[in-house]
Amino acid sequence: MSATIEIRSAPHVKGGYSVEKIMRHVVYSLLPVCAFFVFQYGISALASMVVITATCLLTERFFVRTGTQSGSISDFSATITGLLLALSVPPGFPLWMGVVTGFIAIALGKALFGGIGFNVFNPALVGRAFAQAAFPTAIASYTASFLPGRFTEFIPSSLAWPLMIPPETAEWLKLKQLDALAGATPLGQWKFEGIVASAVDLMTSLGGHMAVGPSPLLIIACGAYLASRRFMDWRIPAAVISSAGLVASVLYAYNPSHFPNPLFTLFSGGLMLGAIYMATDMVTSPVTSRGVWIYGGLIGLLTVVIRYFSGLPEGVMYAILFANAAMPLIERISQPAVFGAVATKKARRSAAFSLETPASTLRESKDVVIPIKVVSNNQPPKS
């Protein structure tokens, strides 16, 4: 009787997962969301998406080529960054700003740290945070969705000349028989005018000409696909949503006239997109099982705090970036107990070892088959 044991470095059990495969499926699951975004805003959204993603890919290619960054363009991670970035900026975001933002996202958010697997912050959010600080007006100018003629005509701000101020969209909206208010996001309307949009409209994104992103329900469905295929840790979005919902409910119960209802908070802005696609970035989220709950809880709490108590209408981006920064600390405090280890007590002076060898330390008995050892050079076994 004989057996063979192969000695090689981890991982020993193959699940058939690879970075490339996971990232490819994230892109697949993002496609319906992107299609919905194009359906809402027409060719402007399509152009913005193509330009930003292309910039991200070219930047990635450049830094991989020059040897400053690990990874490869074929692993789809830059595609995800580009698509998420395009989904998180307004559809009429000037294309030249999209190029700047896409470049910053990959160069500053990823290449500088050494490429895929080394970045501290979510690259898409680094790009968006830069755009928020550099172009505060452009990134806050949304336009109404489902405008007539959106598939034949660009939003005027999209085609601004490079380095120039994008033209005002208010005039253009007036031509479409819409008031200037139509360009405000539901969160902005709540923050500055006290109008709370209906939660059902927000869930589907289909209620009239609202200036919102793709439907949160669609995003949840796409996220559920990823979670069911185990390409995403479902606990992170669960923690974000439950924590944001809990904090919002407590505040709503405390003062219903001042704070919006929790459903509005959950389905407005980029909370769903952030919770499902950005907070779950495998590189920048914790791996420990208690850690993911702390991490998600922190994001939900900070989002609600920033939205309700700061000058900004939306807080998901800063909440996630903040939690990314806190990630190593979260992992440190949430280390799981090592299997078989007992809580260590202070060493006692009188501690003594048993003279008898405990039965569990006997590793071999006479009838055990001793396997033949084969040292492999880390190549998969040839069958």
Partner 1 sequence: MTTAVQARNFDEFMEGIWRQNPVFIMVLGMCPTLAVTVSAVNALSMGVATSFVLICSCALVSLMRNVTPKEVRIAVYIVIIATFVTVVDYAIQAISLALYDALGAFIQLIVVNCIILGRAEAHAAKNPPITSMINAAGMGIGFTIGLLSLGVVREILGAGTLFGVSLFGANFQPWVIMVLPPGGFFVLGSWLLLFSWWARRKEVAKNV
- CA dihedral sign of residues 210, 157, 76, 115: negative
The answer to whether 102 touches 85, Cβ cutoff 8 Å, is: yes
40 versus 101: smaller Cβ distance to partner 1: 101
- What 3 state SS string does 108-149 have? HHCHHHCECCCCCCCHHHHHHHHHHHHCHHHHHCCCCCCCCC
135 contributes a contact to partner 1 by CB under 8 A: yes
163 contributes a contact to partner 1 by CB under 8 A: yes
Interface with partner 1 by CB under 8 A: which range of 44-52, 157-165, 212-220, 247-255? 157-165
Min dist CB 135 to partner 1, Å, is 7
164 versus 375: smaller Cβ distance to partner 1: 164
Min dist CB 132 to partner 1, Å, is 9
User: How far is Cα of residue 212 from the mean position of the Cα atoms in its chain?
Assistant: 18
Min dist CB 100 to partner 1, Å, is 8
Interface with partner 1 by CB under 8 A: which range of 51-59, 131-139, 276-284, 331-339? 131-139
166 contributes a contact to partner 1 by CB under 8 A: yes
- 208 Rama class: left (phi>0) / alpha (psi -120 to 50) / beta: left
Q: CA-CA distance, 182 to 171, in Å (whole number)?
A: 12
- 380 Rama class: left (phi>0) / alpha (psi -120 to 50) / beta: beta
Please identify which residue in 6, 17, 31, 136 interacts with partner 1, judged by CB under 8 A: 136
Q: Is the bond into 313 cis (omega within 30 degrees of 0)?
A: no
105 contributes a contact to partner 1 by CB under 8 A: no
From residue 299 to residue 328, the character string flagging contacts with partner 1 as x (rule: CB under 8 A) and all else as - is ------------------------------
Q: CA-CA distance, 118 to 337, in Å (whole number)?
A: 26
Q: CA-CA distance, 360 to 183, in Å (whole number)?
A: 70
Please identify which residue in 7, 10, 164, 370 interacts with partner 1, judged by CB under 8 A: 164
133 contributes a contact to partner 1 by CB under 8 A: yes
Q: CA-CA distance, 22 to 27, in Å (whole number)?
A: 9
Please identify which residue in 160, 272, 294, 316 interacts with partner 1, judged by CB under 8 A: 160
Q: CA-CA distance, 196 to 264, in Å (whole number)?
A: 7
375 contributes a contact to partner 1 by CB under 8 A: no
130 contributes a contact to partner 1 by CB under 8 A: yes
132 versus 145: smaller Cβ distance to partner 1: 132
Residues that bind partner 1 (CB under 8 A): 94, 97, 108, 130, 133-136, 138, 160-161, 163-166
